[in-house]
């Protein structure tokens, strides 16, 4: 019996470990010592390794795993999960592919959490935490969640839909031990709750909330109830309100909760009397622990100074909903010397980014969003020089998301020279297929420079006019690349083949509107087994190739989407028809339909991954 606490030491092939044995017969309890040691393991990656060592380790691991992470809700059935892991108290589930954020996935595609909850209610009545991303969550599901799990503490819904404030009412009413209610980026069903009464459903003696985020909800809330709730919850450290909360109300909330570490303001547009301005300023100055600041909708520059006193300890400033200009932005930045993460709108322009370069030496992450993404005729926003300015001043920069309308190869080469440690490089030149605007050449050399210089690169999004050369570079140099997003790029199948044959750590590949076809698709058969997913949309892939793919790779889910009803009938005749969308992922077998029927079968547990990586 091994009692070696280092689980990574041996990885024998598991000839004796038998998943069937563990599912068919009552499992022996693990060795006490082994069990205790393994309870310290938190990383899913480590746990997966541990479970491969031998049967005893497999059992010890499964009995001590408390956190479940499933990166694709269709990759494994709830029954398999329930059978293998009896002690789960925390679940993270991700559903729809990322392209659903951009309306490229059908509305009722699936990813309904309900059948998972039904299983959890039976097998994990002691469930405490549920974190969902891009899943469909109905009010019925929320009601089940609220009533079936007496110890339930933390609910996080990111980019989920399908629920209304009725579901939230259930959560507020029944979850006596709730510490976290975190709702992000929600596009709620448009049936609104006029009364905004869900917040009032927290009982009067309820005070355990530590996290309350309803910033993305539309409904107005009962402010008195909110104020009382905030005053009762002495441990509240995260409060993010929605746009219905006005400045004078915000001031009252801050008075109740000066201990806040993360604050999302409501609307910042209100006619304030001079006295109110002073009150607000002093309320903010009392918030000594503020690390994150967001919200700031409709902010008017004259009110920004109320924030200054609270910015000394800020590490994350999210101004992506505040259309600031460079001057007031620069003034605000001067008060934020400790910024690590900054999200802004491109209304600050290059001048604002220069201020970033000079005021934020500790900056690690920058995201610049376009204030007006569809307006091609007004030349506003940021350019390559803003990006260069930031990179010059912020040597610790490793995460960038940058929307712009023009870029040059030389600028990108300069940027990665200043900042060679990029792990996430997402550059979106908003006009598809735009070349280097100075030289008129493709942007191949830009991304070549990125992959050659940034050896730690995990995530890359490319844009602009790109030939197959870009993908040759990526395949050859991007040794740590896990996620690649491609749009309107490439010249031939060769490009995609380079990526599939290179990039040893590739996990997620998203491609839209590229001239990659069947040869490219089929060249990746071996590769797909090691990847989480492939998404191709509006490429040159036909149904024939997909059929072949499905035949040769039975472990892969192959899913095609057809946008036109008349095509459905000719699909099986016209094998040469181009498929609008293809989604492919490895793991278990075929996927449910509208009845959410799950085929029980094998399993796959995916590597642990930070939800924030998207």
Partner 1 sequence: MAMSSEESCSYPDESKLELGLGLSLGGGSGAKLKFKPSPTAVAAAGPWGQYARILTAKDFRSVVSTKECLSSSSSSSSSSVTKANNNPFCGVKRTAEPSSPPGRSGASQVVGWPPIRTYRIQSLVNHAKSPMTEEITSVVDKCKSKNTIVDKTNCGSTLNRNVAKEKGLVKTSLFVKVNMDGIPIGRKIDLSAHSCYATLSQTLDDMFKLSAVVGARRSNAEEQVVKTRPSTLLNGSSEFVLTYEDKEGDWMLVGDVPWEMFLSSVKRLRIMRTAEANGLAPRSNETNRTQSMAQI
Residue with Cβ nearer partner 1 (80 or 257): 80
Segment 440-459, which members bind partner 1 (CB under 8 A)?
A: none
361 binds partner 1 (CB under 8 A): no
Cβ 258 to partner 1 shortest distance, Å? 27
Contact assessment for residue 258 and residue 230, using Cβ atoms and an 8 Å cutoff: no
Residue with Cβ nearer partner 1 (158 or 230): 158
> Which span sits near partner 1 by CB under 8 A: 29-37, 436-444, 451-459, 499-507?
499-507
The residue from 1, 3, 194, 379 that contacts partner 1 (CB under 8 A) is 194
Q: Which of 366, 96, 47 is nearest to 355 (CA)?
A: 366
Strand 424-429 vs strand 399-404: parallel, antiparallel, or unpaired?
Answer: parallel
The residue from 291, 431, 467, 491 that contacts partner 1 (CB under 8 A) is 431
107 binds partner 1 (CB under 8 A): yes
Question: Which residue is listed with tokens 């109830």?
Answer: 225
Cβ 560 to partner 1 shortest distance, Å? 6
Residue with Cβ nearer partner 1 (280 or 299): 299
Cβ 207 to partner 1 shortest distance, Å? 29
The residue from 529, 574, 578, 613 that contacts partner 1 (CB under 8 A) is 529
403 binds partner 1 (CB under 8 A): yes
> Which span sits near partner 1 by CB under 8 A: 142-150, 233-241, 490-498, 530-538?
530-538
DSSP assigned state of 177? T
Look at the alpha carbons of 514, 518, 524, 530 in this order and tell me if their dihedral is positive or negative: positive
Segment 45-104, which members bind partner 1 (CB under 8 A)?
A: 45, 47-52, 58, 61, 99, 101-104
Tell me how many degrees the CA angle 282-288-292 measures, rounded to the nearest 5. Answer: 105
Residue with Cβ nearer partner 1 (207 or 562): 562
298 binds partner 1 (CB under 8 A): yes
Cβ 20 to partner 1 shortest distance, Å? 5
Those residues whose C-beta lies under 8 Å from the C-beta of residue 351, and which sit 6 or more positions away, are 326, 330
> Which span sits near partner 1 by CB under 8 A: 145-153, 355-363, 381-389, 541-549?
541-549
Those residues whose C-beta lies under 8 Å from the C-beta of residue 436, and which sit 6 or more positions away, are 407, 408, 409, 410, 442, 443, 446, 464, 465
Cα separation of 228 and 246, whole Å?
A: 16
Q: How many CB atoms lie under 10 A from the CB of residue 135?
A: 23
Segment 312-351, which members bind partner 1 (CB under 8 A)?
A: 320-325, 327-328, 345, 347
Cα separation of 323 and 298, whole Å?
A: 7
Strand 533-537 vs strand 581-586: parallel, antiparallel, or unpaired?
Answer: antiparallel
The residue from 3, 13, 205, 610 that contacts partner 1 (CB under 8 A) is 13
Cβ 46 to partner 1 shortest distance, Å? 9
Q: Residues of 377-391 as b/e, b for ≥16 C-beta within 10 angstroms?
A: eeeebbbbbbbbbbb
Q: Which of 102, 101, 131 is nearest to 116 (CA)?
A: 131
Q: Collapsing DSSP states into helix, strand and coil, what is residue 385?
A: helix
Those residues whose C-beta lies under 8 Å from the C-beta of residue 357, and which sit 6 or more positions away, are 389, 390, 391, 392, 393, 394
Segment 230-289, which members bind partner 1 (CB under 8 A)?
A: 243, 267, 269
Cα separation of 267 and 588, whole Å?
A: 46
Residue with Cβ nearer partner 1 (68 or 257): 68
The residue from 88, 233, 541, 546 that contacts partner 1 (CB under 8 A) is 546
> Which span sits near partner 1 by CB under 8 A: 89-97, 200-208, 516-524, 581-589?
581-589
169 binds partner 1 (CB under 8 A): no
377 binds partner 1 (CB under 8 A): yes
Cα separation of 559 and 485, whole Å?
A: 19
41 binds partner 1 (CB under 8 A): no
Residue with Cβ nearer partner 1 (204 or 552): 552
CA 282 vs CA 17, 234, 279: distances in Å: 63, 20, 5
Contact assessment for residue 113 and residue 135, using Cβ atoms and an 8 Å cutoff: yes
Residue with Cβ nearer partner 1 (257 or 556): 556
Segment 111-150, which members bind partner 1 (CB under 8 A)?
A: none
> Which span sits near partner 1 by CB under 8 A: 354-362, 449-457, 464-472, 602-610?
602-610
Contact assessment for residue 473 and residue 450, using Cβ atoms and an 8 Å cutoff: no
504 binds partner 1 (CB under 8 A): yes
Q: Which two tokens stand for residue 38?
A: 């393994």
The residue from 180, 444, 482, 493 that contacts partner 1 (CB under 8 A) is 482
> Which span sits near partner 1 by CB under 8 A: 114-122, 232-240, 252-260, 427-435?
427-435
544 binds partner 1 (CB under 8 A): no
Supply the angle between the helices 444-453 and 468-477 in degrees, to the nearest 10: 0
Q: Which two tokens stand for residue 202?
A: 């927290």
Total residues at interface with partner 1 (CB under 8 A): 130
563 binds partner 1 (CB under 8 A): yes
Cβ 213 to partner 1 shortest distance, Å? 14
> Which span sits near partner 1 by CB under 8 A: 233-241, 366-374, 384-392, 442-450?
366-374
193 binds partner 1 (CB under 8 A): yes
594 binds partner 1 (CB under 8 A): yes
The residue from 332, 520, 539, 558 that contacts partner 1 (CB under 8 A) is 558
Question: Which residue is listed with tokens 């007006």?
Answer: 372
Cβ 149 to partner 1 shortest distance, Å? 26
Cα separation of 476 and 501, whole Å?
A: 9
User: What long-range pairs does 6-14 form, CB within 8 A, spacing at least 24?
Assistant: 7/38, 7/41, 7/46, 7/49, 7/50, 7/53, 7/57, 8/46, 8/49, 10/53, 11/49, 11/52, 11/53, 12/52, 12/53, 12/54, 14/52, 14/53, 14/54, 14/55, 14/58
> Which span sits near partner 1 by CB under 8 A: 8-16, 31-39, 123-131, 446-454?
8-16
Residue with Cβ nearer partner 1 (163 or 284): 163
């Amino acid at each position: 019996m091994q009692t070696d606490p280092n689980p990574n030491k041996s990885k024998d092939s598991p000839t004796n470990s038998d998943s069937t044995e563990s599912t068919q017969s009552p499992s022996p309890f693990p060795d006490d010592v082994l069990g205790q040691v393994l309870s310290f393991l938190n990383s899913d990656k480590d746990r997966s390794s541990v479970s491969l060592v031998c049967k005893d380790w497999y059992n010890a691991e499964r009995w001590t795993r408390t956190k479940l992470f499933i990166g694709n809700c269709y990759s494994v059935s709830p029954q398999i999960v329930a059978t293998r892991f009896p002690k789960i108290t925390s679940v993270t589930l991700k559903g729809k592919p990322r392209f659903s954020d951009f309306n490229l996935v059908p509305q009722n595609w699936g990813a309904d959490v309900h059948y998972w909850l039904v299983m959890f209610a039976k097998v994990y009545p002691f469930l405490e935490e549920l974190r969902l991303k891009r899943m469909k969550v109905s009010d019925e599901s929320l009601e089940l969640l609220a009533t079936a799990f007496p110890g339930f503490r933390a609910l996080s819904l990111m980019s989920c839909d399908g629920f209304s404030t009725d579901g939230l009412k259930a959560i507020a009413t029944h979850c006596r031990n709730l510490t976290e209610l975190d709702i992000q980026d929600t596009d709620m069903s448009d049936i609104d709750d006029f009364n905004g009464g869900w917040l009032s459903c927290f009982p009067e003696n309820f005070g355990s909330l530590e996290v309350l985020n309803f910033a993305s909800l539309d409904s107005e809330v009962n402010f008195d109830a909110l104020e009382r709730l905030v005053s009762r919850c002495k441990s509240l450290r995260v409060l993010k309100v929605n746009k219905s909360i006005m400045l004078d109300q915000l001031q009252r909330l801050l008075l109740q909760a000066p201990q806040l570490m993360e604050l999302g303001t409501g609307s910042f547009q209100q006619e304030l009397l001079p006295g109110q301005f002073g009150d607000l300023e002093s309320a903010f100055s009392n918030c000594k622990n503020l690390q994150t600041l967001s919200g700031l909708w409709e902010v008017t520059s004259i009110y920004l100074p109320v924030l200054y006193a609270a910015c000394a300890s800020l590490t994350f400033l999210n101004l992506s909903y505040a259309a600031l200009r460079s001057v007031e932005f620069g003034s605000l930045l001067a008060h934020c010397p400790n910024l690590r993460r900054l999200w802004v709108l491109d209304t600050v322009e290059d001048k604002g980014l220069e201020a970033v370069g000079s005021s934020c030496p500790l900056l690690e992450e920058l995201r610049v969003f376009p204030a007006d993404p569809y307006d091609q005729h007004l030349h506003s926003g940021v350019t390559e020089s803003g990006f260069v300015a930031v990179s010059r001043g912020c040597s610790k920069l490793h995460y960038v998301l940058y929307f712009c309308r023009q870029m040059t190869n030389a600028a990108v080469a300069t940027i990665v020279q200043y900042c060679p440690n990029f792990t996430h490089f997402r550059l979106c030149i908003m006009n598809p297929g735009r070349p280097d605007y100075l030289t008129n050449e493709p942007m191949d050399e830009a991304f070549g420079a990125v992959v050659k210089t940034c050896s730690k690169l995990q995530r890359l999004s490319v844009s602009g006019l790109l030939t197959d050369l870009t993908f040759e570079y990526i395949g050859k140099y991007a040794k740590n690349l896990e996620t690649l997003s491609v749009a309107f790029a490439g010249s031939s199948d060769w490009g995609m083949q380079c990526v599939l044959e290179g990039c040893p750590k590739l996990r997620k590949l998203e491609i839209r509107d590229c001239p990659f076809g069947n040869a490219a698709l089929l060249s990746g058969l071996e590769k797909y087994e090691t990847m989480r997913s492939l998404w191709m949309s509006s490429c040159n892939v036909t149904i024939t190739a997909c059929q072949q793919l499905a035949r040769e790779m039975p472990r892969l889910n192959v899913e095609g989407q057809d946008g036109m009803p008349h095509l459905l009938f000719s699909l099986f005749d016209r094998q040469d028809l181009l498929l609008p969308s293809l989604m492919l992922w490895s793991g278990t077998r075929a996927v449910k339909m509208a009845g959410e029927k799950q085929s029980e079968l094998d399993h796959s547990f995916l590597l642990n991954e930070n939800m924030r990586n998207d």
